[in-house]
Amino acid sequence: MAPVNHTGQLPRLLPGTAATLTLDEHLARYGPLPLRPAGDLIAEVRAAGLTGRGGAAFPAGIKLAAVAAAAATAAPGSGPRRRTADAAVIVANGVESEPGSGKDAVLLARSPHLVLDGIAVAALATGASQAWLCLPADKPRLAGQLREAIAARAWAGASPVPVQVEAVPGGYLASQETALVSWLSGGSQQPSFVPPRPADQGVRGRPTLVQNTETLAHLALIARYGAAWFRTVGVPPEAGSALVTVSGAVPHPGVLEAPLGTPLGAVLAQAGLRPAGGQRGPARRPQAVLAGGYLGGWLAWPDAADVPVSAAGLRQAGAALGPGTLAVLPAAACGLAQTARILAWLAGQRAGQCGPCTHGLPALAEAFAQIAFARPHPDTIGWAGRLTQLLPGRGACHLPDGGAGLAASALRVFAKDLSWHAGHGPCPPAAQAAREAP
Amino acid sequence: MSDWLRVNPIACEAHGVCAELLPELITLDPWGYPIVVPGPVPPALAAHARRAVAACPTLALLLHHEDDATS
């Protein structure tokens, strides 16, 4: 296998075949992992402009620097002192609790050593003495594969820190950063109020870097090839590529890699979607795209075909990049009914800690059930709109913000359906959806 | 430097004392939880803000200093 092309062609993260890359194949493809001084590496990541691929798109270099600084304060000096219980820890977040996302599992299954390289690089940059690789508890086979890969590296002497695979149970909030830190500290799977941030006080009080597994894979490539190489892909100001999971009304759903900033239409074309008008039949013809998962937003199709698939581009269009999920809604479905279903599910995923979310998210779900499955009174529609403004910024985590954003986008994108429902009751697809699973 | 108000939503139990003491900057939502007017606390209200923070029964109202440049 030839080493990966340095000119910035894709795919960067995923090998051409579905088989798992062994350590030898991985080294043949990417070359050895250089051990760079911590300061150099952090500067390189900052220059690369890598952002977190778990959903928040937070600059990875800033996070790395914060953990390194906190660790230096907690355990000054170097040498054995850095191996004490004060040293930083790395949490590789591959829990991927977003229902429409499959990219972390695909990456881990096919290119495990790229993620493990990223853990090693992050550990060297922060002086971490320990790492956890968090995987969903319902994927024991994946966990077994990763344990094997970790053992192969230990055997080859390619592992600067011990990495422990952790099977994380639970629902939607299980992969939320502070909830994950709490769980690894022996606590509940509930988000906590920040500050203190995990960088300063994370797992058992230690400086903690929580980073999505795809982000770590990019980190491993930046450590090898540098910031300038990383930036050869991506439409400015976005840098690099991202894994996206495409589902729904496309010919070839699945995980693919695209330069950040690629127009939505071009990304969906990679999943086999032909240009507007090419699809026949309401079951196949798209009407909207849910970008960014259950905490993202709806975009009308094909109007949104030119929207850049990037954190800034999708936010500006009223959606989100989130963990890179794109769900395509066929013309035969009712977007309001879909949204009502998602909001009801989200309301059930609450941690139940914050008042505005505890009251507001079920109220929003209830209003949407009326909107989707009944003949909504104008007051109900008004109340739903008001709730979308009341919820953002009112919780310890972003569940209320995300639910509100999703609902607001539905009211906007499915405005025609909304007035039809208000005038006549549920449209035939909504009535059908209500009959199938009341 | 300026002062910013923030609510710890986990600690807040909707006693509503803050909205009583600082109606200029804090209103209550339909369930009685505080909504803080965005932006820094105007200097003229700084003393009132400190009083509201001190009066919160669950210590959920926080006042923190921030550099205007980084806020």
What's the pLDDT tens digit per position in B2-57?
A: 899 999 999 999 999 999 999 999 999 999 999 999 999 999 999 999 999 999 99
The model's pTM? 0.94
Instruction: Kindly state whether B14 is in contact with chain A, defined as any CB-CB distance less than 8 angstroms.
Output: yes
Give one DSSP letter per residue of A104-142, joined into a string: HHHHHHH-HHHHHHHHHHHHHHHT-SEEEEEEETT-HHH
- pLDDT value, residue A278: 56
Inter-chain residue contact A355 with B9, CB threshold 8 Å: yes
Is the domain of A224 the same as that of A246? no
User: How deeply is A368 buried, as exposed, middle or buried, from its count of CB atoms within 10 A (0-12, 13-18, 19+)?
Assistant: buried
Q: Residue A88 in contact with residue A206, Cβ under 8 Å?
A: yes
Using beta carbons and an 8 Å cutoff, which residues of A are at the interface with B?
Answer: 192-193, 353-357, 359-360, 390, 394-396
Give the CATH number of the domain where residue A205 resides. Answer: 3.40.50.11540
- pLDDT value, residue A157: 77
Give the CATH number of the domain where residue B15 resides. Answer: 3.30.70.20
**B35: in domain:** yes
How many CB pairs below 8 Å do chains A and B form together?
39
Instruction: Kindly state whether B54 is in contact with chain A, defined as any CB-CB distance less than 8 angstroms.
Output: no
ipTM greater than cut 0.95? no
Of all residues in chain B, the one with the smallest CA distance to A397 is B9
Does B70 have pLDDT greater than 50?
no
Question: Smallest Cα–Cα separation from B64: which of B44, B47, B40?
Answer: B40
Is the domain of A117 the same as that of A250? no
Give the CATH number of the domain where residue A396 resides. Answer: 1.20.1440.230
Beta B61-66 vs B2-7: how paired, if at all?
A: antiparallel
**B29: in domain:** yes
| CA atoms within a 13 Å half-sphere pointing along the CA-CB vector of B3 | 17
**A264: in domain:** yes
The alpha carbon of residue B21 is apart from the nearest alpha carbon of chain A, in Å, by 20
**B32: in domain:** yes
Is the domain of A166 the same as that of A97? yes
Range of the domain at A317: 241-277+289-330
- pLDDT value, residue A438: 57
Is the domain of A207 the same as that of A69? yes
Q: Count structural domains, chain A.
A: 3
Q: Residue A427 in contact with residue B41, Cβ under 8 Å?
A: no
Q: 3-state SS string over A84-111?
A: CCCCCEEEEECCCCCCCCCHHHHHHHHC
Q: How far apart are CA B58 and CA A347, in angstroms?
A: 26
* Three-state DSSP class for residue A213: helix
**B47: in domain:** yes
Q: Residue A258 in contact with residue A235, Cβ under 8 Å?
A: no
Is the domain of A194 the same as that of A323? no
Q: How far apart are CA A139 and CA A116, in angstroms?
A: 18
- pLDDT value, residue A50: 97
Per-residue pLDDT of chain A (438 residues; tens, 9 = 90+): 445 555 568 899 998 777 899 999 999 999 999 888 888 999 999 999 999 999 999 999 999 999 999 999 876 555 544 455 789 999 999 999 999 999 999 999 999 999 999 999 999 999 999 999 999 999 999 999 999 999 999 887 778 899 999 999 989 999 999 999 999 999 999 999 999 999 999 999 999 999 999 999 999 999 999 999 999 999 888 899 999 999 999 999 999 999 999 999 999 999 999 865 555 677 778 999 999 999 999 999 999 999 999 999 999 999 999 999 999 999 999 999 999 999 999 999 999 999 999 999 999 999 999 999 999 999 999 999 999 999 999 999 999 999 999 999 999 999 999 999 999 999 999 999 999 875
**B71: in domain:** no
Inter-chain residue contact B31 with A356, CB threshold 8 Å: yes
- pLDDT value, residue A372: 97
Q: Count structural domains, chain B.
A: 1
> Which residue in B10, B63, B66 has the most chain A C-beta atoms within 10 A of its own C-beta, making it the best mutation to test that interface?
B10
**B55: in domain:** yes
Is the domain of A312 the same as that of A216? no
**A166: in domain:** yes
Inter-chain residue contact A354 with B30, CB threshold 8 Å: no
Is the domain of A246 the same as that of A360? no
- pLDDT value, residue A86: 83
Is the domain of A115 the same as that of A223? yes
**A95: in domain:** yes
Is the domain of A50 the same as that of A193? yes
* Three-state DSSP class for residue A248: strand
Is the domain of A96 the same as that of A197? yes
Inter-chain residue contact B10 with A394, CB threshold 8 Å: no
Is the domain of A142 the same as that of A200? yes
Range of the domain at B47: 2-66
**B16: in domain:** yes
**A9: in domain:** no
Instruction: Kindly state whether B30 is in contact with chain A, defined as any CB-CB distance less than 8 angstroms.
Output: yes
Of all residues in chain B, the one with the smallest CA distance to A396 is B9
Is the domain of A364 the same as that of A396? yes
